[in-house]
Structure 1
Amino acid sequence: MKKSILLAIFLIASSSFTQNNIDVDTVNVNEKIILEEINPYNPLSKPNTYTNPDNPNYWKNKMPYPGYWQQDVHYIIDAEIVDTLNMIKATQQLIYTNNSPDDLKHVFFHLYANAFEPDSYLDKFRKGNKMLTKYRKDEIKKKNLEILSIKSNEKDLEVEIDNTIMKVYLEKPLKSGETIKFDINFESHFGGNEGEGNVRRRMKTYQDFGNKHYNGVHWYPRISVYDSKFGWTTDQHLGKEFYGNFGCFDVELTFPENYIVEATGYMTNRDQVLPKELMKKLDIKNFANKVYNTPPSTIIRYNPKKKKTWKFHAENVHDFAFTADPSYRIGVAEWNGIKAYSLAQEQHAAKWQNAADYAAEIIKVFSEDFGMYTYHKIIVADARSGMEYPMITLDKGRDPGYRGLLIHEIAHMWFFGQIGNNETYRAALDEGFTQFLSAWGGNVIEGEYMQRDSSYVTDSILDNKNTSLLSRIAWLKRNQTFLNKYYDQHRNQLNELDDNAFYRYIMDASENKTPKLNTHSHDFGGSLAHRGSYTHVYGKTATMLYNLQYVLGDELFLEAMQNYFDTWKMAHPYLNDFRNSIIQFTGVDLNWFFDQWLETNKDLDYAVCKVEKLDNDTVEITISRKGEMEMPIDLTIDSKFGMRYEYHIPNNWFTKETSATVLPKWIGYGNLNKNYTFKTHIPSGVKNVMIDRSGRLADSYMINNNLKGNIDFSLDYGVYKWANLRKYELKARPDMWYNGFDGFKIGTNINGHYLKKHHVFNGNLWLNTGVLRGEELKGNNDNDKISYRLKYSTSLYKYVKNSRARLALTKLDGLNHFSIGYNLKDRTGMNMMDISLNGFERKEASDLNYLLYDHLWIPEKKNTNILMTLSHGYRYLQNNKLSGKGTINLSLKSSSIMSDYDFAQLTLSAVNKSVLGDWKINTRFFVQRGFGSNFPLESMLYAAGANPEELMNNKYTRSVGFVPNSWTNYGNSSGTFHYGGGLNLRGYTGSYMTEEGDINTYKGTSGIAFNTEIDYTEMIPYMEYFGINSYLFMDMGVINENEPQESLVFSSFRMDMGLGFTWELSQLWDHVIDSEPLVLRVDFPLFLNKPASEEGYMKLRCLVGLNRAF
């Protein structure tokens, strides 16, 4: 009876007030029940029905487990975007319900935008990574998210702000089951134009053809999550992941009326802000034939005094984002009552025609395979981004290139949007699961391979007067020429599984370099953005899920994933919740699986070890477990008669649904049962044995997975390609070269590798024809008739991590050479030790005919030496102005057994490459001390540049033919050709550098030098886009003038100064080729402090070189 009376009172009063103006402090449980009866669940309009008993998505109506709880929020925000100031002025009401068993004395808010300012934690994190930071104007002023006031019950609350976290002290504890309302006034700034700074931020503004664009994300004070694992989650924002409470958002956004806006939630006043006539004008189909990237039309004229308010209501979400642009044009599609909207800038609309349909198809695939999409719409927006927010994705690119991005960002609606895990703590549950869905969706929608962009541009932009010069240059590099078509024809493509999951994982797992997934999202090597080991949050997690599918079988896996999604939809799971969900649903002990994938960096490696033929068509097959992980094995045997036999080897008591013959289980890990042997009957005998034909087993060394067929042989087209994860690659191509003594060299190159890391082989064999031999050597037939070069290197990670061995054997251009080496790096890759045994010999005097400097090598002498080098790399940042990286090398070189020489060299060098504004400053300090009585000419220290031994490392300088003989003469004045090395006193190249007493000091055993180049290319518009760099240089140093067994005496101090230019020819093309770039250099040493006697200090001198001097 009492309930009926109360109901009648509320029905009468409903005409004078609504749920939104009821004081939450006065609402008790009975009144809430009555309100819910009056307002049945409707997520598309006010009032807030998120907590209704008839909301199938509310956590209380579908608890993941008994005793589970999470907090409820209702945000009511009224915001005006002031486009003249690039800021938001807003008032916010937050109604927060404490469903925890704890009383709360304070609360925390995230102020995400405050990460993007000086002295923030992100700023310190960047400084810790030695990264130069350029802030935008509002970021410098620390105007990002400003809290003007925060009240409850009309009383100001005490706050404590620590960068991106705000602690708010409550007047009295918020008891379990109680609700509190916060009233907040705030201003949020977009930081300034995107191009003004270099800190990657998601809330941003930029201009295109005079139109301002806004991405409004993480723009309001967002209350932190209080959960059963952490209590308050208070991670500082470092530019990556997020975590929020589910609830309701009622948001009104006021813009100048020319803006087209979309956002999270249902647009409750669509008929007013987007009437039918306006929608007809905005229809993306109207612009299908518009020339790409030409100025947009004006549909609504800008008038700052005319405003329009866009109203949105969203339930079952944990965040709210918007995007706005006057040039947005709208596409619409639908699936199962879910609207898919595409918003493309008009200038890009021609290449966004299919975006809405494609988004609808993505929603369909994931809904049918993993669980129905909860919301009424999905937005894909052309917004220079690649991020996800509830119901809206901010994207970039154009069709077909954007398809993979759309799949990935919409996949986030399942793992982030609907399953709201704490991605700041463990990003694997968010990015990794989404990466898995990216591969899944790509496979279903596109097939094995995603349709890709052509590597060349087919549509001309030259006739568009609005096209900038840089765009014209870019077009010329990528237009529809023969070379670009050639590149497009011969490059390869990863399939969807490899592209999204396996490739990045296997490439590192093959050397045991993957991290533990159960790691804080900020703690993957301390890397920023998505570099370093953080990439495995994506790739390793996705690979893990495909391997879980492999273990469970397709059907049980999909059912388990659907159950996980349904159980934790609109809730907050952690990794343990996921693994428990899978284990409990399947009834399978998978702790061994999750332990090794989540808690270790172990890797998988199974091999077909032996196949032995016995009597009566019986074969005995041995499989070996070489890695530390264990897995069940799917095995295929092909017979010589063409029959195929499938086997399954369980690794414990569970056996998945399979039509294969199930063999006895193989229980083994560590050193237990590393080999598995079984017998089977194969009529006609075995043709091949193959492990996992499905391609899902994440074997880190797959070239031993088959008895046969582990090598892929192909022609080498010289185009950079992705590595083949499953086979050793062996490539061959014709190889022609030339030098002035051999003439044209006709031969072949054969190269091979596995993953570009294991058993890397490169071999050349040439027949030296003598055709078009140099003029000076015509008639001289003493050249080598055959040349060869063999190089091999491989990883030794199984013995010593981050180590490699190498071997080289060469008979080329008159030089016999061998080298055996070992290289070891630390885990950071910044510190290295290298040791090698090397040998050089020119057996006959005729071999000197190959040399640019034939008087600087003694024939019939063996030069064998041991070289040991220690290297330390580092980065630096000074006052956020000077940044750069450097390397210090300390090396010891000494003659060894079988050498005809007696010498040793101790060398220290330090090279720094710095950036100061638009200037790039390179410096080099070099010091060498020589010891011994007999130095080989080719290994001595040369004052001007490289010694003859170093010249052998470049195919253009190892022999005559490319550098004119007149450029390599030595005399009293400077010469013409220079190659960097030695003391690098380039202004003295070709000079004997004669001292008193007619002592020539162009070569020696000891010396000290300092070199610097100041590159000012960025100050000259467009120069670098042609591959041209320009710089000022200065070199100074001294070299010894004493004989080897005399006391050390240095020559006169020498210095040169001038300016130079380099031209990297590969920059004329926009694609990566599989060869070393050719860099031409012209230096003008205008000043020498010790010129030849007939020259002045200042003179126009010119020298030509290859590559930068250092």
Structure 2
Amino acid sequence: MLPRFRFRLALAAVLLLAGAVFAAPASDGIALAPPDAAAVRVPSSPDAWGGPRTGREPTLSDRVVHYDIAATLDPVKHTVAGRERLTWRNRSNVAVSRVYLHLYMNAFENAGSTYFTERRTRDGTFRSGVDIKDAWGHIALRRVAQGSAGVPWTFVHPDNGPATDHTVVRFDLPQAVAPGASTTLDIDFVTQLPRVVARAGYFGTFHLVAQWFPKIGVLELPGERGATSPRWNVHEYHLNSEFYADFGSYDVKLTVPRGYTVGATGEPQGAPVDKDGMRTWRFAQGDVHDFAWTADNQTARPLVDTWSGPGSPTVTVTVLYPPEFAASAAPALKAAKESLTYFSNTLGPYPYRTLTIVIPPYNAEEAGGMEYPTFFTAEAYRTVEPRTVNQFALAFVTIHEFGHGYFYGLLASNEFEEPLLDEGLNEYWDNRMMRDQGQLAYIATPLLARLGFAPGYPTFDAERTATPRHDPADPPGANAWHRLQDIGPVYTRTAILMRDLEARIGRAPMERAFKEYYRRWKFRHPSTADLRETLAEVTGQRAVIEDAFERQVYAVSRVDDSIADLASTELVPLPGAHESQSAVDKRIDAARAAWRKTHPDGTGPYPYRTDVTVRRHGAPVPQTLVVKFADGSSETARWDANERWHTFTWTKPAKAVSAELDPQRLHYLDVNKLDDSRTLAPDARASHRWGFEFAAVVNYLLALIATL
């Protein structure tokens, strides 16, 4: 055994060579984004991220980073050995001596990572909640150099996560990067893929390789997303967070055994090269902020087609799928091409030449439904029949993952801090596309559909059902990980809020505003405040937009208006000191008999007083109240006051029939639409409809049993 002091010296030398740091160099004074960062309230400066892209620049984006990577897959060990040359430009006006990188795959390194800690302590699951068992994943740095000098590194915890989390690393540079200058880092690494979990990994011969390489964080400058001084925006890999990165260019060589089909971000560069039983593919893509790929030797012959649209290059669309899910390939291709058309027409042109869709094989569903630039994964079904839940789910997920190519890809929002700008807005636009195409959310299994029971619902109605309305806890503008009700309401509540704004403002103004949002902020990382300002400016409805964002984005407020009471009383003469009740009754009967002789319309000689009391149990929203009367007339009232209740009164010749709040159904955030209306007479139409539907199913089942 070594003496203690010699042991410490030896251990320090070993750890220093391995990259760990004992004495950190002096700080360059650049802070990290705070761990509680969320939706930004202050608009970015007009020249943020270099200002709006005009199309006259030499590149689509202001490329901050270039990755040159050579990677080799070992499909037996499920490892990727990589050599990465990372060239990064310092956009700030201060020298940078420390840079921060994400090692996302370390989220699956051990049960003490931030990801697994949150999964365990919050009793949460991700998607199916698959158990990783002993098939852990990680990314190991083998060498980091700046020129000829070695670069020491240490793991840091920007969000105050556990010390056992290794998803963010700091490189202490031997040579500081001057303002406006660039530096190149050479990084050797080995990534161990986990069994498919949380978007990436392997199952059998299938490999979905995502978040697999050392990836530099974002240095934000004053005036960008609320920053007042240069700051590094890097966050740990949380259970529910996704990603944020600078735009750049990628040149990636992928070496896999011959016989493996490869799909990846970007465009193939020539034919693959074969050597020693291995095949090397080269893919390149500029103006993106991530790179993912897949390799499998069980893939069926790819389905390939092209798409073209105004302002876009011709796009090669490729579907990679396993034989067992061949039925999903053509529907996924169809949905992808329709999405290219819709998003290009309603937001802006798709600027890339490729789009690759991956349908994962059986037992790899955790890899499905995830987006990367020019590359996404879809759902997988053995049968895809009309008017079934399979058909709807495959179409919706394909549209959704393609849509991320705009909100996550081209707009490149910060998904850690402002997930509503990606998941929420994308969910809104996906539902919008399905609504405009007349597509319904079907819930029937193939068997029920064949039996004739295939109810479908407008997708926004299904979205409304899925969002917490009675007791919402988390503002859509909260960050991805600090949430009581998990990440789901970011999707659903944001989509419904935007749908409600569209219903109030109008479809055309809303679409113009989103087109301008895309034009103004593509390739520029907008914030929530930038979205708010664009919507307010273009729609001309600043008060409406600002009120909605204040109540329902930066905060969360229950919306719950109802009709508390409906009464319609005939104003007949009343007895008193000079006339008894019997005398009054005789006078009333005589007047009614005389009236009927000349008025066969069902009204009477006496008017009716109608009182409608409305109640408010949440935030105020502008309401319309419509009251219908027996003579076919109606009355409309506006209720815009910030008050808990109000009684509206009319005196008319006819008795009221019904009263309804929000007849145009502008407010899907409302807790309960069933209490928005009342009738004086019972109305059994809804129960009759569902009774008939149920009876039809029973009859079909009985007929089926009788034939067995």
Give the TM-score normalised by the residue count of structure 1.
0.47
Alignment of structure 1 residues 317-716 onto 2, 5 Å: 317-326=288-297, 327-331=299-303, 332-336=305-309, 337-383=314-360, 384=365, 385-398=368-381, 399=384, 400=391, 401-445=393-437, 447-450=438-441, 454-456=445-447, 489=452, 492-499=455-462, 501-505=463-467, 508-510=468-470, 512-525=471-484, 532-587=485-540, 588-589=542-543, 590-608=545-563, 609-610=565-566, 622=612, 624-636=614-626, 640=630, 649=638, 666-669=639-642, 674-675=645-646, 677=648, 687-697=657-667, 698-708=669-679, 712-714=686-688
Asked whether 1:306 is paired with 2:306, we answer no
2:53 counterpart of 1:91: no
* Structure 1 residue 76 corresponds to structure 2 residue 68: yes
Larger Rg: 1
Q: Which amino acid aligns with 1:495?
A: P
Q: Distance in 2 between matches of 1:53 and 1:154?
A: 38
| Residues in 1 aligned to 2:407 and 2:537: alpha-carbon distance in whole angstroms | 20
Separation of aligned partners in 2, 1:54 and 1:576 = 26
- Per-residue deviation, 1:159: 0.7
For the structure 1 residues 616 and 130, does the alpha-carbon distance in structure 2 shift closer, same or farther, using more than 3 Å as the test?
closer
Distance 1:644 1:115, change over 3 A: same
Decide whether aligned partners of structure 1 residues 648 and 159 sit closer, same or farther in structure 2, where only a CA change above 3 A counts.
Answer: farther
Paired residues of 2:568 and 2:655 also in contact (CA < 8 A):
no
Structure 1 position 145, deviation (Å): 0.7
Alpha-carbon offset, residue 133 of structure 1: 9.1
Q: CA deviation at 1:691?
A: 2.9
One-letter amino acid of the structure 1 residue matched with residue 459 of structure 2: E
Match of 2:286 among 315, 337, 340: 315
In the TM superposition, what is the alpha-carbon distance from 1:622 to its structure 2 partner?
4.6
Which one of 187, 190, 199 corresponds to residue 187 of structure 1? 190
- Tell me the equivalent position of 2:219: 226
Shift of 1:439: 1.2
SS of 1:355's partner is: helix
Letter in 1 for 2:687: F
Deviation at 1:409, TM superposition (A): 1.0
Aligned residues: 563
Aligned partner of 1:103 in structure 2 is 95
Match of 2:121 in 1: 128
1:553-610 deviation line (CA, Å, top 9, x unaligned): 2221221122112211112122222212222333422322111102333211223454
Bigger strand share: 1
Q: Deviations over 1:1003-1023 (max 9, x none)?
A: xxxxxxxxxxxxxxxxxxxxx
Aligned-residue offset at 1:204: 0.9
Q: Secondary structure at 1:412's aligned position in 2?
A: helix
Q: Distance in 2 between the 1:703 and 1:553 partners?
A: 24
Q: Distance in 1 between matches of 2:617 and 2:174?
A: 59
SS at match of 2:140: strand
- Distance in 2 (CA, whole Å) between partners of 1:616 and 1:685 is 10
Deviations 1:468-527 (A, max 9, x none): xxxxxxxxxxxxxxxx679x655754421122x21122xx323x24422222211112xx
State how far apart, in whole Å, the 2-side matches of 1:618 and 1:101 are.
Answer: 76
- CA distance in 2 between counterparts of 1:84 and 1:371 reads 43
1:653-688 Cα deviation digits (max 9, x unpaired): xxxxxxxxxxxxx553255xx42747699x977544
Q: Tell me which amino acid in the other structure corresponds to 2:464.
A: F
- Superposition pairs for residues 755-834 of structure 1, below 5 Å? none
1:152 and 2:107 equivalent? no
> Which deviations, in whole Å up to 9, do the C-alpha atoms of 1:767-822 show, x marking residues without a partner?
xxxxxxxxxxxxxxxxxxxxxxxxxxxxxxxxxxxxxxxxxxxxxxxxxxxxxxxx
Does structure 1 conserve the Cα–Cα contact (< 8 Å) formed by 2:267 and 2:285? yes
Structure 1 residues 557 and 122 mapped into 2: Cα distance closer, same or farther (>3 Å)?
same
CA distance in 2, matches of 1:392, 1:432: 20
Structure 2 Cα separation of the partners of residues 262 and 133 of structure 1: 25
Against the structure 1 CA distance between its residues 451 and 718, is the aligned structure 2 distance closer, same or farther, given a 3 Å change threshold?
closer
Q: Give the Cα separation in 2 of the matches to 1:335 and 1:648.
A: 50
**Compared with structure 1, are the counterparts of its residues 694 and 388 closer, same or farther at alpha carbon in structure 2 (3 Å cutoff)?**
farther
Q: Give the structure 2 partner of residue 460 of structure 1.
A: none
What CA distance in whole angstroms lies between the structure 1 residues aligned with 2:515 and 2:55?
25
CA–CA separation in structure 2 for the residues paired with 1:677 and 1:94 = 69
The separation in 1 between residues aligned to 2:683 and 2:140, in whole angstroms, is 61
Distance in 2, matches of 1:267 and 1:174, equals 33
Distance (whole Å) between structure 2 residues aligned to residue 710 and residue 564 of structure 1: 46
Higher helix proportion, which one?
2
The 5 A counterparts of 1:841-852 are none
Q: Is residue 253–residue 310 contact of structure 1 (8 Å, CA) maintained in 2?
A: yes
Question: Which SS does the other structure have where 1:630 is aligned?
Answer: coil
**1:716–1:733 Cα contact (<8 Å) kept:** no
Question: Residues 642 and 668 (structure 1 numbering): CA distance in 2 closer, same or farther, change over 3 Å?
Answer: closer
The 3 A distance-change label for structure 1 pair 680 and 394 is farther
Residue 389 of structure 1 and its aligned partner are, at CA, apart by: 0.7
Stretch of structure 1 that moved more, 214-223 or 257-266: 257-266
TM-score by length of 2: 0.72
Give the CA RMSD over aligned residues.
3.5
Call closer, same or farther: CA 1:328–1:695 in 2, change over 3 Å.
Answer: farther
User: Structure 1 CA distance, aligned partners of 2:237 and 2:329?
Assistant: 33
8 Å CA contact 1:76–1:93 kept in 2: the answer is yes
The change in CA–CA distance for 1:431 and 1:91 in structure 2 (over 3 A counts) is same
Residue in structure 1 matched with residue 169 of structure 2 by the alignment: 166
1:630 counterpart letter in structure 2: P
Q: Distance in 2 between matches of 1:638 and 1:611?
A: 12
Change (3 A) 1:130 1:618: closer
Match of 2:396, SS state, is helix
Q: Give 1:114 deviation, angstroms.
A: 0.3
Name the CA distance, whole Å, in 1 between partners of 2:398 and 2:170: 37
Distance 1:321 1:733, change over 3 A: closer
Local SS of the residue matching 1:187 = strand
Contact 1:157 1:169 in 2 (8 A): yes
- Aligned residue type for 1:323: T
AA at the equivalent of 1:690: E
Alignment partners' CA distance in 2, 1:643 and 1:563: 43
Change (3 A) 1:420 1:575: same
> One-letter code of the match for 2:461?
D
Relative to 1, partners in 2 of residues 1:256 and 1:489: Cα closer, same or farther, differing over 3 Å? same
Mark the CA change 1:186 to 1:704 in structure 2 (over 3 Å): closer, same or farther: same
The answer for unaligned runs of 5 or more in structure 2 is 1-52, 157-165, 385-390, 572-604, 699-708
Do the aligned residues in 2 keep the contact of 1:52 with 1:58 (CA within 8 Å)? no
Residue 541 of structure 1: how far off its partner (Å): 0.9
Could you say if the C-alpha distance between residues 625 and 365 of structure 1 is closer, same or farther in structure 2, counting changes exceeding 3 Å? farther
Match of 2:67, SS?
Answer: strand
State whether residues 611 and 649 of structure 2, in contact with CA within 8 Å, keep that contact through their aligned partners in structure 1: yes
The whole-number CA distance in structure 1 between the counterparts of 2:454 and 2:421 is 34
- 1:685 and 1:369 map into 2 onto residues whose CA distance is 47
CA deviation after TM superposition for structure 1 residue 453, in Å: 5.8
